[in-house]
Amino acid sequence: MATMTMIQALNSALDTMMARDSRVLTFGEDVGYFGGVFKVTEHLQEKYGAKRCFDAPINECGIAGTAIGMAVYGLRPVIEIQFADYMYPAYDQLVSEAARIRYRSANDFTVPMTVRMPYGGGIYGGQTHSQSPEALFTHVAGLKTVIPATPYDAKGLLISAIEDDDPVIFLEPKRVYNGPFDGRRDRPVIPWSKHPASEVPEGYYKIPLGKANIVREGSEMTILSYGTMVHVALAATEDSGIDAEVIDLRTLLPVDIEAIKTSVQKTGRCVILHEATRTSGYGAELAALVQEHCFYHLEAPIERVTGFDTPYPHALEWEYFPTPPRIIKAMRRAMEA
């Protein structure tokens, strides 16, 4: 066991898989010699050669499109979209092609590819380095959408994604790449090394897709979240004094409905957190599912605490980001309802 940051854990997942399977290769903008702008692919070119880890032209459509062709050939490409905000040029290839090739060819062709992209705010990245576009993927039949919250999960989930025979969108919460940010701006950020989930095996292991993780058991309400917001949820729970059950969904599509049902039916209250804009965010789907599956157990309206329906504002990102005080307000509303 080593202590790893999320970046190191992701790098270790790629390293592990590239060592095990020559079909695994990785490319993207600045991914090769430089090792990626966040260093997730560092040393892989050195270790596996330029043909297995290389730079791509700045054309996300081409990155996704060529990766689809490679996957169809029989490789297992892992591509990096430098920031999730720049996935839009690739969107057609991902939703109209990768997602549908198995279906439209009736299993004749398949696309085992993984699309990594750092997402989310909190790094003063402005409108185009802060977005959380997960709902644009969860609406698409044929894709899976995965978001880890810790180094341990990041490695295990990425290995599962690479081994999955369907295309997986793998969103990486960049705000917690180097440490578990909990939304409290006034306290020093804790390094990953102080967090138990930074204990990461060097070798191969998997965390199954589609399984949520109950990161805190509780009885008074259920908080559904993923990525960076899991840590913020824990901080809000601590600060609120409310005994919330905090669920890290880990996979958004297919979501672990059993975990959600069991928890909300137990607690009777539900707060949903995400960084993305509110309207038609993934929280809407969660709210719809919760009320469909737990209607008779609900004692209060389901609350959504989310990014606002505005572009991500550079200087006001701490007003925009759903921090513990805003979450606690929603938790209290849910408790008092």
Residues that bind ligand TPP (CB under 6 A): 29, 58, 82, 86, 89
Q: In what side-by-side order are the strands of the sheet with 168-173?
A: 53-55, 24-28, 76-80, 114-119, 168-173, 144-146, 251-253
Q: Which is nearer to ligand TPP, 65 or 89 (CB)?
A: 89
Question: Is residue 108 within 8 Å of residue 162, measured between CB atoms?
Answer: no
In the complex, the smallest distance separating the C-beta of residue 271 from a copy of itself, rounded to whole angstroms, is: 12
Q: How far is the CB of 242 from a copy of itself (least distance, A)?
A: 19
**b/e code 245-281 from CB counts within 10 Å (16+ = b):** bbbbbbbbbebbeebbbbbbebbbbbbbbbbbbbeeb
The one segment of 87-95, 110-118, 158-166, 238-246 that binds a copy of itself by CB under 8 A: 87-95
Structure tokens that stand for 163 in this block: 């081994």
Q: Which two tokens stand for residue 254?
A: 């297919």
User: Does the footprint of a copy of itself cover residue 109 (CB under 8 A)?
Assistant: no
- Pick the closer one to a copy of itself by CB: 259 or 287: 287
Confirm or reject binding of residue 128 to other proteins (CB under 8 A). Answer: yes
Other Cβ atoms within 10 Å of 326 Cβ, number: 17
Compute the distance between CA of residue 48 and CA of residue 19 in angstroms, rounded to an integer.
Answer: 8
Among 1, 74, 187, 295, binds a copy of itself (CB under 8 A): 295
Q: How far is the CB of 13 from other proteins (least distance, A)?
A: 21
150 vs 263 by CB, closer to other proteins:
263
119: which residues sit within 8 A by CB, 6+ positions away?
83, 84, 85, 131, 132, 133, 134, 147, 171, 172, 173, 174, 227
At closest approach, how far in Å is the CB of 86 from ligand TPP? Answer: 4
Nearer to a copy of itself, 38 or 320 (CB): 320
The one of other proteins, ligand TPP, a copy of itself, none whose footprint includes residue 281, by CB under 5 to 8 A per kind, is a copy of itself
Catalytically active residues are 129
